[in-house]
Structure 1
């Protein structure tokens, strides 16, 4: 009887170990990605079912600014974030001695200039006042829009990724660029109609109900190098779950969905890194 009980106990224990190991093997990998509310979190929610089929349980943590997502990633509170472009990431790493890296570019949010007073950037008058956010990494994008409109020239050798308003060589209409505002406040400043024009990042423009392709008086082109990316801690870009996340986001079906969903406000970058 004791021998039989021993055999049963051993069999049950072995079965429990097998079931436990099998459960672990079949368990989904969970990753948490920090993101801006729109369009980043919306895009992530769209791919959640696809990732589930790949064995990835995607959790999304929404941030309403450009400050906390990188801090949360660096501190290990999240596994990745999706809200920024390469110049912003490089600037953050430099200022914070960070080692965050790019796991893959997903889309471009063309930065735009908006005005309730003028229908074209070229129509801005002398001594016009333009509001710009305090994101230094976006200054080159802003300067290019005004340069392309023929309103300013830049000093020889100026690199857009590191450009500031001090790099303006000739300000043909004596435009004042006031750049002390948080990026998320720009739509409210536009609505206040205080300035002659306001520069707004597309994610905040979309959240505020604006349609960049229709409402902006000047809009960045798809050829811009400021694509938004998945950022991770150094080394994590090689993790299978992160690779699957990037692959699904860069898939033709997801990129097509982005095109249809945002109608020019968000531009997919395809299979570029």
Structure 2
């Protein structure tokens, strides 16, 4: 029994080493499809010239990219903003850190039933992301649009329970962020992260009824474990993503639906 336990421990240790940043020049990065994985594909040849082989792991949720980096299975991730990262660390006891801000995805409100926010009827159903930071971000956007008033107008962790005034008696449905765009036909208004809006074929600049401004504090970042923050290959990744070439790619490809934050 002791030999089997020792063998298992040694195997687990070996797997942990191979999954981390033990092999210089190889870097795995978790990302959501649009625009994160697309931008990573864009910098892949740049990193190859720097001696870094980039392995892009695509996810469609906001939990596994952090879990797998925290567990050392994947080296870094690029999909989230700092309020979400802080909330995740607090909730899960992880110690992931930001190593660079890349872009802002202006958060928007969309509808297939009304042409303007003024057209929303009393009791209209509104779909929100169900994670704390994006849910609050959606409520802050609605507040700025004049639809609701929060008890604390600056609370970045507000929930529907923190609404002080709701003149139109809006009814809120909290849904996983990745699924909000899919339920848009079933609700009157959907608050959607730009990456998911783009995946759904929506153009934030022309389809959103209201959109965050460029001054949004929710910049998407590259995150790693604390012990990997000073890794040379990670630094090369951030430098590539913050390059003039990426700035121009964001400008030409996304036409303002995302904006650089560097």
TM-score bin, normalised by smaller chain: 0.7 to 0.9
Q: Equivalent residue for 1:237?
A: 229
Please tell me whether residue 189 in structure 1 is matched to residue 178 in structure 2.
no
1:170 and 1:51 map into 2 onto residues whose CA distance is 51
Q: Equivalent residue for 1:19?
A: none
2:191 and 2:248 map into 1 onto residues whose CA distance is 27
Q: Equivalent residue for 1:47?
A: 43
Match of 1:64 among 57, 60, 66: 60
Q: Is the contact made by 2:89 and 2:95 (CA closer than 8 Å) also made in structure 1?
A: yes
Runs of at least 4 residues of structure 1 off by over 3 A?
none
Shift of 1:159: 3.4
Q: Equivalent residue for 2:94?
A: 98
Match of 1:144 among 110, 130, 140: 140
1:89-238 to structure 2, matched below 5 A, reads: 89-156=85-152, 158-179=153-174, 181-190=175-184, 193-238=185-230
Number of aligned residues? 240
Shift of 1:212: 1.1
1:174 and 1:212 map into 2 onto residues whose CA distance is 26
2:180 and 2:149 map into 1 onto residues whose CA distance is 25
The more displaced of 108-117 and 139-148 is: 139-148
TM-score by length of 1: 0.84
What is the DSSP-based 3-state SS (H/G/I as helix, E as strand, rest coil) of the residue aligned with 1:199? strand
2:182 and 2:148 map into 1 onto residues whose CA distance is 26
2:73 and 2:129 map into 1 onto residues whose CA distance is 27
What is the DSSP-based 3-state SS (H/G/I as helix, E as strand, rest coil) of the residue aligned with 2:69? helix
Q: CA RMSD in A?
A: 1.4
2:82 and 2:155 map into 1 onto residues whose CA distance is 12
Q: Is the contact made by 1:122 and 1:149 (CA closer than 8 Å) also made in structure 2?
A: no
Q: Is the contact made by 1:28 and 1:57 (CA closer than 8 Å) also made in structure 2?
A: no
1:107 and 1:120 map into 2 onto residues whose CA distance is 27
Q: Equivalent residue for 1:29?
A: 25
1:118 and 1:72 map into 2 onto residues whose CA distance is 40
1:236 and 1:224 map into 2 onto residues whose CA distance is 28
CA deviation string 1:79-105 (max 9, x = no partner) = 100111111111111111000001111
Q: Is the contact made by 1:122 and 1:150 (CA closer than 8 Å) also made in structure 2?
A: no
Shift of 1:28: 6.5
CA deviation string 1:80-139 (max 9, x = no partner) = 001111111111111110000011110111111111121222332221110112121112
Q: Is the contact made by 1:154 and 1:168 (CA closer than 8 Å) also made in structure 2?
A: yes
Match of 2:75 among 68, 71, 79: 79
2:146 and 2:251 map into 1 onto residues whose CA distance is 30
TM-score by length of 2: 0.88
Q: Equivalent residue for 1:20?
A: none
